[in-house]
Every structure is written in C-alpha cells, then in structure tokens.
Chain A
C-alpha cells in the first residue's frame, strides 16, 4: 500500500509540473506579450527595455528553467496588469470557488442518491421513467445555457434572485443549481444502476423472502453496499465539477478562480494564467489522488497491483 501511495504522489507532482511546462511553452510560442502593453509605434529602446525587464529577450530554455525554479517556490511573477504577485491573487479567489463547488456537490448528492435509490426500487414505474428521462435530458443540457435560463426566470422575470455577483447566500442559489444539474443527472443514473445490481444479489432476495420490511431492506442492506462505488464515482467526478465551475462562475460573475482565469486569458495576463493553471492542476491531481486511494482501500486487487 505504501508503495502505491508513493507512486501516486510522484505522479501528482509530475502532472502539475507537466501542466505548467505545456502551458509555459504554448504561451511563449504564441508570441511575447510586449506588443499588447506598448503602443505599436513605441520607440525601439522602450520595447527592448520592457522585454529586458520582463526577461522576454533571453533564450527560451533559460526562461523556462528560471520560471520552473521560481514556480515551485510559489513565485509566478507579477500580474502584467496590476503589478501584484500572481499567486496571492489566485489564492484569494480560492474560497469562492470552493464554496460554489462544495455546495453544488452536497446539493447534487442530496437529490441524486434518494432519487436513484427510489428509481431502482420502483423499476419501470412511472416515477422511474420520469426520473430516467430527466437524467438523460440533464446530461444533454449545457450548464451555461441552464444558467442563462435561470437568470431569465428568477432575475429578469420574477425579480426574486440576483442575476450575478457574490456577497450573500442568495447570490449562491442560482450558480449552485446550475453547477449541480449535470452532477445530479450523472449521480442519479449511476446510483440507479448500482442499486439495480445490488438488488439482484442473492442476499437481498433472501432478506426479502424472510420478510425484512422494504425500508429496512434499502437502508440496511442495499444502500450500504452500493454506497462505496457511488462515493468513488463522486470523487472521480469532482474534477469535472471543477471544470464546470469555471463556466458557471463566468455566467454568474462569481468571483472565483475560473472567472479570474478567463479574464486573464482574455487580457493575456500570463503570470496569472500560469498561477491559475498551477492551482487548478494541483487541486485536480490531489482530488484524483484521494479518489484513487479511496478506491484502492475499497478494492484490494488494486493495492496488490
């Protein structure tokens, strides 16, 4: 087990470093950003001075080496716009993103697990069919469009919720629903199919035959045994949730990392982009790491391999 943990930890580090490397070279190969900050008729000396100051005039591999050495120490340089250190700017936005992602996750679990269990238990009933239809539809609706529809109904028409921004619980409602929708669809579908598998098992049939009440049957025997694969899927899906959070944040002007990353990409403010990619890759890799450990803990076959 320890071998496995160490192997996976090394992988986390490699993933983050490689993500930084790829983005670094993509950025450098797409041209240096000097032109964006100086007028096109700027005198040659001024351009050279600017390039000198930011280090864009040195050989690429030197720039790369220096960037990586600084990056692993948390120094991504200063924002090209605000002249503040890039990493603290990104870290400042982290709580908002976590707030959105975690509340959406909780909401989707609260809806999806009961829905999936009920659906499986009442297989082929009207309820089951409606719930399956919703999960199929839910996976086809792009989250940003759902966000726009919610803004239209609750902000533009009913005037009961704000269309964007942050600051209170009220601001969280619409982005939370938007981000949760896709996960609800996926988790419900998965809970249903896992439950169906469990319900087919002999011990459930035995319990049923010996007269265990339905409620107890679900709670005590069936749900308990299907919870493990569900938790694993949820952990593996957290990354997708994080990706969805970026889009949701932009739709609702939610002040998280995703919106910051988008704005920095638009402004070509590359130190912030690199710091943002670093943090996102790190979070994502750590989540995957924890999910894998969870999975290995549950499934001994993997531990041995």
Chain B
C-alpha cells in the first residue's frame, strides 16, 4: 500500500493546544448541564468523594465506639440522627465512614482490574497470533461463570478483609476490560491514520504509544465509570453474606448483615445502609450512562 501523506494525520492528533484543554473542561460542564440525570449522577459522586475524604472530621460519634446503655435507639433520639445499632454505635457515623470503604474498594478494584485487563486487551488485539488465542480463551472461560459467584467463592477461600475483597473483585473483573479493549484495538488497527503511520515507517511500539494508547482513553474511562458501580454493589453483597469486609469495620454490606437480625424490632438498622448503597449505585450508573452517551454516541442506549 502506498499511502503518501506523511505526518499530517498524527501531527494534528497529538498536539492539543493549551486553550483546547480549557475549552474541554468548559465543554464537559456545558454538556453536563444539559442532562439532569448526568448532573444528578455527577453531584452524587462529588458528594460521595467529599464524604469519603473528609468523613472522619464530619462524623458526630466514633463509629466503632459501643455504648450498651444506648443500644437500638430509633432515629432522631438523643442526638443520633439515624439512631444506633445493637451495640449502641451511631449509625449516621458508621454510614459516613462506610462511604470511604466503598469508594476505596470501587476505585482500587477498577485501577487493578482496568490496568491488567487493558494490558491483556492491548497485547491480544495489537499483537494477535497465538497469544491472542490463549488470552481470549481464558477470558471466554471466565466470562462463562457468574461474576458474583466467582467473587464470592474466591473471597471465601482466600479469606476476608479489605485487601482480599479487592483482590477477589479484581480477579473477577479484569476480563470485561480485556474483552472491550481488545475489540477497540482491533478496530483502531484498521483506521486510516494508523495505516498511514505504518506506511510512513513509524515503529510498532511507536504506533502503540503514540496512536493506540491515546485513543483507548475514552473507552477505558467509560468502562471504568460503569464498572465501579458493579464493584461497589458486589462488595456490599459479599460483605452482606458474611465474607468481604468484616465487622467492626463499618462497610454498608456488613451493617445490613448485622442489622437483619433486628429486622422485626428496629427498622432503621436495615434501612439507611441500603439507601446509601442505592444512591451510590444510582449516582455512578447515571454518570456512567451520561458519559457513554456523550463520549460515544454510537453506543447510545446499549
């Protein structure tokens, strides 16, 4: 193939001007303002991040401090906004601190699963050949087992705790990234500007870093934002089942697990942590959907 228009395509592609960067931020917000669901999701995420960073200075009580004289107080009594649990601990404080656990687990898992899955996807899609066949077989096999069960079984066997639940979720989650990134890379390889670069003699590694990687940014961001919600709900489910994050650590899932024994007498124990999980998942999902529709209109509505 003798394509002969050197440098122009990727030169235009790799030199974002400073003013362009600023307008990107402005475009982001003006776009966001137009969608109230995206805005709602964005606000929930900002609130969640704020709480998980500054939570320890907001909480009115020590979330781990038991006070048996004050156990199972209903909401709005004795200075306890959302009441107290079976050990007399302040539920509001525990939910605030629980946000940090959810955020840490969601973000860390996405970083690990996303990085590993992306690397596998790039290797598979860019280099093809036997390594692609092997890697994609592994992905196929894993995708044919229910995600939540996989996480549960792995976590139950390797042991509970924050670190192990992150490992379990990452083992369960990387395959989605590998699958999606591989197909993105395959599509990119066929694009004219890549073919042109090959023709002008840019090395394989050079093309990978200069052209493939920057163009993977959008799909990675979209997928990550959609996966965080999945991981947070999965962690809550696993912790609810008695694995995952263990008491007395205030994870929303294990708060519900402890609260379910008091369901006939104290409704607030099973109500508020669930609302927290629901709003978090709602915020992340709404924002993720908006992001996908905005950045990649082709995918709109699944």
Minimum C-beta distance from B53 to chain A (A):
23
Contact A266 B242 (CB under 8 A): yes
Specify which of A140, A152, A243, A262 is in contact with B241 (CB 8 Å cutoff).
Answer: A262
What total of A-B pairs shows CB separation below 8 Å?
Answer: 116
Partner of B146, one of A137, A145, A239, A262: A239
Residues of chain B within 8 A (CB-CB) of A240 are 146
Q: Within the complex, what minimum Cβ distance (angstroms) separates B97 from chain A? A: 19
Q: Given A26-B158, A239-B146, A152–B263 Cβ distance below 8 Å?
A: yes
Which residues of B, 243-302, contact A by the 8 Å Cβ criterion? 243, 256, 259-260, 263-264, 267, 270-271, 274, 277-279, 281-282, 285-286, 301-302
Return chain A residues, CB-CB under 8 Å to B152.
Answer: 246, 262, 265
Q: Quick one: which of A26, A139, A273, A285 contacts B285, CB cutoff 8 A? A: A139
Q: Give bound CA distance, A11 to B148, whole Å.
A: 21
Which stretch of A13-21, A104-112, A212-220 is in the interface?
A13-21
Is B3's CB within 8 Å of the partner chain A?
no
Partner of A26, one of B140, B147, B157: B157
Count residues of chain A with CB under 8 A from any CB of chain B.
49
With A14-B141, A240-B146, A247-B148 known to touch, is A145 a contact of B256 (CB < 8 Å)? yes
B176 at the interface (CB under 8 A from A): no
Cβ 8 A contact of A243, one of B146, B236, B263, B302: B146
Q: How far is the CB of A215 from chain B (nearest CB, A)?
A: 26
**B274 and A145 contacting across the interface, CB-CB below 8 Å:** yes
Could you tell me which residues of chain A, from 140 to 167, have a CB within 8 Å of some CB in chain B?
140-145, 148-149, 151-152, 155-156, 163
How many residues on the B side are at the interface (Cβ–Cβ under 8 A)?
42
* Contact in complex: B146, A136 (CB < 8 Å): no
Q: In chain A, residues 111-146, which have Cβ atoms closer than 8 Å to a Cβ of chain B?
A: 136-137, 139-145
CA A242 – CA B145 in complex, angstroms? Answer: 10
Interface membership of B216, Cβ < 8 A: no
Chain A interfacial positions (CB closer than 8 Å to B): 11, 14-15, 18-19, 23, 26-27, 30, 136-137, 139-145, 148-149, 151-152, 155-156, 163, 189-190, 193, 196, 239-240, 242-244, 246-247, 250-251, 261-262, 265-266, 273, 277, 280-281, 284-285, 288
Alpha-carbon distance A160/B145, docked complex (angstroms) = 37
A22 to B279, CA, bound (A): 35
- Name which residue of chain B comes closest to A246, CB basis: B149
Q: Are B145 and A142 in contact (CB under 8 A)?
A: no
How long is the Cα–Cα vector from A142 to B286 in the complex, in angstroms?
Answer: 16
Compute how far the CA of A139 lies from the CA of B230 in the bound complex, rounded to whole angstroms.
10
